[in-house]
Amino acid sequence: MKLLRIGNPGEEKPAIVDTNGIWRDASTLVSDWSDAALDPTKLSELSKVDLTSLPEIAQDQRIGPCVGQIGKFICVGLNYSDHAAEAGMEPPSEPILFMKATSAVCGPNDDVIIPKGSVNSDWEVELGVIIGKAASYVTQADALDYVAGYCVVNDLSEREFQLERGGQWVKGKSADTFGPIGPWLVTADEVGDPQALTMNLSVNGHEFQNGTTETMIFGVAHLISYISQYMSLQPGDVISTGTPPGVGMGQNPQVYLKPGDIIELSIQKLGAQKQKVVAL
């Protein structure tokens, strides 16, 4: 299933895309795509519903973040072998984890706002993993059983804030609008193998990123198991799993976002995003 949330910020309602691409209002089935509604067992039950019985929604409305009430937005750094090479860094021996503020989350097609003082705002297309049920000390063999689904994430970054201003990466990752997610939460059964998805990103029509989740250093199952050793994962938590090469910082000369730029990104089976870059 393809799940989405429709409406103005803070007023989104749950919806489902039917097999004909029609948006259907799911608010009689769930209050939101969050908490218990994301349990894989619950999602399996919903997949049996006759979607044609649900009201149709016009497709001229805003698409919000595909998950409501995100508790944790966990990111993984340098998790693609080809991106680590681009950055001139050794591949990590264990996953590099950092957090992105949940206030950064926005809809997949909302404007991206360059923060005040920014000089090096950058893009990163990433596979997002949405947790569907509580996970603590899970094994790699069982890890994917805890996944509700997957989505496209643009892990936007202000590189000077991230790398040159002291402290942790979170400062460069958490500006408002620096976490577009969606358009859909695609349930795990529809995605299949998360390590076999192509992904790309362009700015103003020029393709910068063209990669595949196959080159992840630590795959989705490894990451879920690993993270669950250090903190419990809860329904609605999002794990952004790293980016392939082609970020602005890796260009020669380097290229960074400026007002008026158009970012377009997509991941196989998970849909596409399009954002206009604006000044604060």
pLDDT at position 84 is 79
pLDDT at position 65 is 98
Question: What are 80-97's pLDDT values in tens digits?
Answer: 988 878 777 788 999 999
pLDDT at position 72 is 98
pLDDT at position 90 is 84
The pLDDT-based confidence of 280 (bands split at 50, 70, 90) is confident
Mean pLDDT to the nearest integer, 59-86 = 93
- Percent of the chain whose pLDDT exceeds 70: 100
pLDDT at position 75 is 98
* CA dist., res. 241 & res. 134, Å (int): 19
pLDDT at position 70 is 97
Question: What are 206-258's pLDDT values in tens digits?
Answer: 999 999 999 999 999 999 999 999 999 999 999 999 999 999 999 999 999 99
Name the DSSP letter for residue 135: B
Question: What are 169-202's pLDDT values in tens digits?
Answer: 899 999 999 999 999 999 999 999 999 999 999 9
By C-alpha distance, which of 134, 100, 101, 102 is closest to 234? 134
Left if phi > 0, otherwise alpha if psi is -120 to 50, otherwise beta: which for 203? beta
- For the domain 65-279, what is the CATH superfamily, name and number? Fumarylacetoacetase-like, C-terminal domain (3.90.850.10)
Tokens of 257: 């976002």
pLDDT at position 82 is 82
pLDDT at position 156 is 98
The pLDDT-based confidence of 168 (bands split at 50, 70, 90) is confident
* CA dist., res. 72 & res. 88, Å (int): 29
Q: To the nearest 5 percent, what fractions of the chain are helix, strand and coil? A: 20, 30, 45
Using the structure block, give the residue that is written with the tokens 């991106």: 83
Better pLDDT: 160 or 163: 160
- Percent of the chain whose pLDDT exceeds 90: 93
- Residue spans of the domains in the chain: they are 65-279
Better pLDDT: 163 or 76: 76
Tokens of 229: 């050793």
pLDDT at position 87 is 75
pLDDT at position 164 is 85
- Give the pTM: 0.97
* CA dist., res. 265 & res. 263, Å (int): 7
* CA dist., res. 201 & res. 191, Å (int): 20
* CA dist., res. 174 & res. 162, Å (int): 10
